[in-house]
Structure 1
Amino acid sequence: ARLGIVGEDGAMRDNFDIGAVVNETDLATDEGATQEPGSVGAGGGNRARIGKFPACPASMREYIPCLDNDEEIRRLPSTERGERFERHCPAKDKALSCLVPAPKGYKAPIPWPRSRDEVWFSNVPHTRLVDDKGGQNWITKAKDKFTFPGGGTQFIHGANQYLDQISQMVPDIAFGSRTRVVLDVGCGVASFGAYLLSRDVLTLSIAPKDVHENQIQFALERGVPAMVAAFATHRLLYPSQAFEIIHCSRCRISWTRDGEHSF
């Protein structure tokens, strides 16, 4: 992996102007970083070279610093409202000094629109969803790929049919014209959002990192906008009325209890 600054010409460089230096230690990226705070760049500012981060151990390939912070999670006074699924970022002095490695055998993702229906197994090597949700038409494994039939817990016959049913029940939704931005809560493998893209609707798919491993990895690998998030005691990082529709298909959210914290 490379680390640097992308210039106006689109090229990445690890040697660049940084302007005035307040604290020389802020330039370091790891103990072996090469620093040149005394040299002067073409624009009259200081120059610095970014060192390379080493790779984290292979056992950390699923690690997300703000979600896998066991030390902070153990300090929570309660977890009954899903607090452990919220963000608990480590202090600055406990931040990672290595790069989380990609899965073994990772390859260039399949491009959209093919990625809506299939992704490489080696890129998201999780099989629990296949075992738990295979009967609901979420996901199947076929040789070296995962395939997505388009189903979900509440729409096992496919997201397209489900979207047609919603449009028939609530014609004013008018996907692609009156409705353009949607939030899908508890998205699973994000088939709802994936099929809305073909209807000119941009969907943000969210789900917690729970017993089904990281479902969001499937969404991102498919090319669907997604983030790991949970509705618990803090609102999402978006302004009120940022979404025209909020979709929750058996997402197990207590809207009367937690909805006020989320929007």
Structure 2
Amino acid sequence: MSFAPRDSHEAQVQFALERGVPAVIGVLGTIKLPYPSRAFDMAHCSRCLIPWGENDGMYMMEVDRVLRPGGYWVLSGPPINWRNNYVAWQRPKEELEEEQKKIEEVARLLNWEKKHEKGEIAIWRKQTTSEYRRDQDPQPNMCESNNADSVWYKKMELCVTPFPETSDFNEDAGGPWKPFPERLNALPSRISSGSILDVSAETFQEDNKAWKKHVNAYKRTNRLMDTGRYRNIMDMNAGLGSFAAALDSPKLWVMNVMPTIAEKDTLGVIFERGLIGIYHDWCEAFSTYPRTYDLIHANGVFSLYKDRCDAEDILLEMDRILRPEGAVIFRDHMDVLVKVSKLVRGMRWNTKMVDHEDGPLVPEKSTWDPNTSVLKIGLVERSAVTSHFD
């Protein structure tokens, strides 16, 4: 996942998305990053001009939060190799030396092991266990929050996120991650440890099986899904990430969005599966440029937000981020889809309503919606030309 500020001159995020690379508009400022704890295998900063050593190392502590145990932090560019580059960078060598000194001090506080420094690249590795927390001097200030994944509009804290509890100090905190693609269908440690309420190993397997069936039905209806036509795909209500797992293909990638009002926060599970995602509230605009996604999957989104914000506003945001001739799959209750289909026709989207893959009157019970009801699938395609003038 790449993120960068909105930049009207460079538009780095827009270029990345147009190349089919996962990216969002974002900034490392005062608010926590919209990702769960222990999400990434590696964090990379290349000339990103972030003052890592300032504010008592708060930005590095946020990187520590989102890195899984054993994950790597790679820093390239200033101040690394300042002795040889201070003239080219047009900065005083004393200032650069102090900047790197602060970074090294914070890394030692976090007990990151420095693995490599050559040229303008330095690499640190986060510890895999919590044992060092007990004998380190000075001791880092540990965060008191019981939920390190509660980040939406939460300010960064000057503290270190605790490791998950283990039965042995030498045990990998959070459990070892399997290599990809085996990781995609392996049971995530957040589920095996019971961290996600009412989600068991059996629930996980059933969800995988159900979404393989759903995706096969989607492919029969939209035959472009396997052709490479859709590269950038978004799942607006990702659940356990099983829609993305069922689509698994080198031809595409899926942005798994976890609504901030979802009953269960499973974004950490999605990352443990080797997928990517982000927290978001669909009553607000998504952090991306217009026309950046080829296919959007909306499973139960309008039922979830029916008392929160207007369906028209969500549809307008979907229209903004969907590319011309892009497609949307709505999966929801029949009365909701009838309303949505009327709205999208007014937006000049081509629409098609199809029955549940098992038949027109088949009820479906979901992990995320315990109420049994008849569901239908709506398929729409955005026109290449959305407006005209007389």
TM-score range, shorter chain: 0.5 to 0.7
Cα deviation, residue 236, structure 1: 0.6
Change (3 A) 1:98 1:213: farther
Residue 213 of structure 2: aligned partner: 161
CA distance in structure 1 between the aligned counterparts of 2:240 and 2:188, rounded to whole angstroms = 12
TM superposition outliers: structure 1 runs of 4+ over 3 Å: 5-8, 25-28, 40-44, 57-61, 121-125, 209-213
Indicate conservation of the 8 Å contact 1:150/1:191, yes or no: no
Residue 57 of structure 2: aligned partner: 29
Cα deviation, residue 176, structure 1: 4.4
Change (3 A) 1:103 1:122: farther
CA distance in structure 1 between the aligned counterparts of 2:180 and 2:217, rounded to whole angstroms = 26
* Bigger fraction of residues in strand: 2
CA distance in structure 2 between the aligned counterparts of 1:124 and 1:216, rounded to whole angstroms = 15
Cα deviation, residue 213, structure 1: 4.0
CA distance in structure 2 between the aligned counterparts of 1:231 and 1:7, rounded to whole angstroms = 29
3-state SS of 1:182 partner: strand
* Structure 1 residue runs without a partner (length 5+): 9-18, 31-39, 68-87, 131-139
Spell out the pairing of 1:143-158 with structure 2 (5 A cutoff): 148-149=204-205, 151=207, 157-158=209-210
Q: How many residues align?
A: 194
Residues 187-220 of structure 1: CA deviation (Å, up to 9, x unaligned): 1011001121236321110012446442101101
Q: Which of the two has higher C-alpha Rg?
A: 2
Cα deviation, residue 7, structure 1: 9.6
Change (3 A) 1:204 1:193: same
Cα deviation, residue 121, structure 1: 4.0
Indicate conservation of the 8 Å contact 2:259/2:279, yes or no: yes
Q: TM-score, normalised to structure 1's length?
A: 0.61
CA distance in structure 2 between the aligned counterparts of 1:203 and 1:6, rounded to whole angstroms = 21
CA distance in structure 2 between the aligned counterparts of 1:43 and 1:180, rounded to whole angstroms = 40
Residue 228 of structure 1: aligned partner: 279
Residue 102 of structure 1: aligned partner: 163
Change (3 A) 1:89 1:58: closer
Indicate conservation of the 8 Å contact 2:256/2:277, yes or no: yes
CA distance in structure 2 between the aligned counterparts of 1:257 and 1:185, rounded to whole angstroms = 14
Change (3 A) 1:6 1:216: closer
3-state SS of 1:192 partner: helix
Indicate conservation of the 8 Å contact 1:186/1:205, yes or no: yes
CA distance in structure 2 between the aligned counterparts of 1:205 and 1:7, rounded to whole angstroms = 23
Residue 126 of structure 1: aligned partner: 195
3-state SS of 1:29 partner: helix
Q: TM-score, normalised to structure 2's length?
A: 0.43
Cα deviation, residue 125, structure 1: 4.2
Q: Percent identity?
A: 13
3-state SS of 2:254 partner: strand
Change (3 A) 1:63 1:166: closer
Q: Which among 270, 277, 287 is matched to residue 219 of structure 1? A: 270
Indicate conservation of the 8 Å contact 1:209/1:215, yes or no: no
